[in-house]
Structure 1
Amino acid sequence: MSDKSAIEWTEATWNPTTGCDRVSPGCDNCYALALAKRLKAMGNPKYQNDGDQRTSGPGFGVTTHPDALNIPYSWRRPRVVFVNSMSDLFHARVPIGFIKQVFDVMQDTPHHTYQVLTKRARRLERIADKLDWPSNVWMGVSVESADQYDRIRDLAKVPAAVRFLSCEPLLGPLPDLPLDGIDWVIAGGESGFSARPVDPEWIREIRDQCVAARTPFFFKQWGGIRAKAGGRELDGLTWDEMPDTSRHLRAM
């Protein structure tokens, strides 16, 4: 858990689960996997469970942390909270009972806004009707290339107040992006020593589709060895658009 976050589109992080497994090329240089290895070596008790070395790594085995469920209740000031920056809430090894507990906490703390992001869109879609969806929960899927468009179709079936796409790390063009039912799009290049370069035309194409569809667009970073070194400007502008939540609240 962190009361502050360096991620441009959120304010804090909350990790009721930790650990994950690679499922697509966007996972190849996972920052969370590398960080978990360091946290294990430092003796952090939340990162002592190892994952499968073929798909995960030291300290990155999927683990639930019931004690972390109490953390949002202690935050008096409203926060925008990224849920599970070090895991995936809809991983097959996270019991549905624990997912329901996480959703109960989010419902109990309506002064916070929660951003949940997953690559397991199929499981998300299958169990969505078993969850209560308060208006302060935003649900998103990662879409690093056109091969992941099925995640968008699954997300569109979920009754979240806000549905969003995280096109980061962007690994290829996203033509004909299906934006029906999508309220927000984030895009960005990969960062770190093994960062794969992003083509500026890929970013422009996403931006132009969002403008045409009147979907808010957020450009996070160009990426590279140092994430912030390339800045965030796209054709001389900083794109910091956020979803309009007021229309969802009026509809509910």
Structure 2
Amino acid sequence: MAGNSSIEWTEATWNPVTGCNKVSDGCKHCYAERMAKRLHAMGNPRYENEFNVTLHHDLIDAPKKWIKPKKIFVNSMSDLFHEKIPSEFIQQVFKTMNETPQHSYQVLTKRPERAVDLSDRLSFTPNIWMGTSVENVKVINRIELLKQVPAKVRFLSCEPLLGPLDDLNLTSIHWVIVGGESGPGARPMEADWVRSIRDQCKTQKVAFFFKQWGGVQKHRYGRELDNRTYDEYPNEILAY
């Protein structure tokens, strides 16, 4: 529920909430849903409700015990701005993030409209990075919504990338993560889709991180693009 992570662009995960529901094409083969069902079958008490939204009040303060600075992915098994999560609970999560400035928190949502609605009740301290998922042009409007969130760092997760994203306006966006889908039923990603986003990031001076090619067995394909890896972070562009 909280601890070190193998996700390439973060160092730890923190899940004060588990569970979600599908809202767009990128959710079709949700890894978190698969994992939740597996953990439920194994009798893990955190997943008694399988993938239904569940609040874990006892985990709200967990990052306060981590002295060493970490990049922390918030709610890798849910979405902090899910409509079933009370605004008061979200405020408590933000309070913990505000009180632990040694960490950088990566909050990724497919519901940026709710983040905008709640933004006047939340304190976006500089250690809170706000991101949204943009898997294809159908959800391109999420980018403009994210720009309305008063975070110092804003990022896009184009994973799983399901189609081309050309002519992106990355003004006020500081980081873009791109990755192919992995696991059972993984849908293919074309190299030119990735190159286009990489080149747009370079032109618009946005940090670019290429996570993986994906596939049913993602380890077979690695994460090199044109014979190199891309591991850029927003703090390489922004002065903290």
Instruction: Give TM class, smaller chain.
Output: over 0.9
Deviations 1:161-195 (A, max 9, x none): 10000000000000111201000000010000200
Q: With the length of structure 1 as denominator, give the TM-score of the two structures.
A: 0.93
Equivalent in 169, 186, 189 of residue 177 of structure 2: 186
- For residue 199 of structure 1, report the CA deviation from its aligned partner: 0.6
Deviations 1:185-211 (A, max 9, x none): 000100002000001010001001001
Q: Which runs of structure 1 show a deviation greater than 2 angstroms over 4 or more consecutive aligned residues?
A: 244-249
Equivalent in 212, 230, 234 of residue 243 of structure 1: 234
SS of match in other structure, 1:244: helix
Deviations 1:54-83 (A, max 9, x none): xxxxx0000111100121111111111000
Q: With the length of structure 2 as denominator, give the TM-score of the two structures.
A: 0.97
- In the other structure, the counterpart of 2:143 is 152
Residues 114 and 70 of structure 1: CA distance in aligned 2, closer, same or farther (over 3 Å): same
- In the other structure, the counterpart of 2:163 is 172
Gaps of 5+ in 1: 50-58
Alignment RMSD, CA only? 1.1
CA distance in 1 between counterparts of 2:200 and 2:216 reads 28
- In the other structure, the counterpart of 1:55 is none
Gaps of 5+ in 2: none
Given that residues 162 and 245 in structure 1 are in contact (C-alpha distance below 8 angstroms), is that contact kept between their aligned partners in structure 2? Answer: no
Per mean C-alpha deviation after superposition, the further-off stretch among 68-77 and 102-111 is 68-77
- For residue 247 of structure 1, report the CA deviation from its aligned partner: 3.9
Per mean C-alpha deviation after superposition, the further-off stretch among 99-108 and 223-232 is 223-232
Aligned length: 240
- In the other structure, the counterpart of 1:101 is 92
What is the one-letter code of the residue matched to 1:36? A
- For residue 2 of structure 1, report the CA deviation from its aligned partner: 3.6
SS of match in other structure, 2:150: coil
Given that residues 139 and 164 in structure 1 are in contact (C-alpha distance below 8 angstroms), is that contact kept between their aligned partners in structure 2? Answer: yes
Identity over aligned pairs, percent: 57
Per mean C-alpha deviation after superposition, the further-off stretch among 1-10 and 17-26 is 1-10
Given that residues 193 and 225 in structure 1 are in contact (C-alpha distance below 8 angstroms), is that contact kept between their aligned partners in structure 2? Answer: yes
- For residue 248 of structure 1, report the CA deviation from its aligned partner: 5.3
Residues 245 and 69 of structure 1: CA distance in aligned 2, closer, same or farther (over 3 Å): farther
